[in-house]
């Protein structure tokens, strides 16, 4: 009788150890997945405040067609790609 109790107690301990190992493994896998997908926040680059940016920020908030027309006509997009050649120079491996 005593050996049956020992075997049952030993089996229960082994089962508990296996369950704990499985739970710890799942926690470790979950933690590793979250570490890989976490993105650290970075400061966004600030745009230079030139006259064109200031003009775009001073547009009307009205939704009247006349005000929208005036904003479109006053928007100068001729030099929109003004710094593009400098950006191309700073990104040598991207084509």
Q: Residue 48 has what pLDDT? A: 64
Positions of the chain with pLDDT lower than 50, given as ranges: none
Task: Give dist(CA 58, CA 71) in Å, integer.
Answer: 9
Give the closest residue to 58 by CA, choosing from 46, 47, 67, 48.
67
Instruction: Name the residue ranges covered by the structural domains of the chain.
Output: 1-38, 48-78
Note the pTM of the prediction, 2 decimals.
0.34
pLDDT at position 33 is 81
């Amino acid at each position: 009788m005593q050996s049956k109790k020992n075997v049952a107690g030993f089996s229960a301990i082994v089962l508990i150890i296996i369950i704990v190992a499985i739970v710890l493994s799942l926690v470790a896998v979950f933690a590793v997945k979250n570490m890989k997908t976490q993105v650290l926040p970075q400061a966004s680059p600030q745009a230079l405040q030139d006259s064109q940016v200031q003009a775009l920020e001073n547009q009307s908030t009205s939704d009247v067609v006349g005000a929208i027309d005036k904003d479109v006509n006053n928007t100068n997009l001729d030099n929109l790609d003004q710094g593009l050649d400098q950006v191309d120079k700073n990104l040598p491996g991207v084509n």
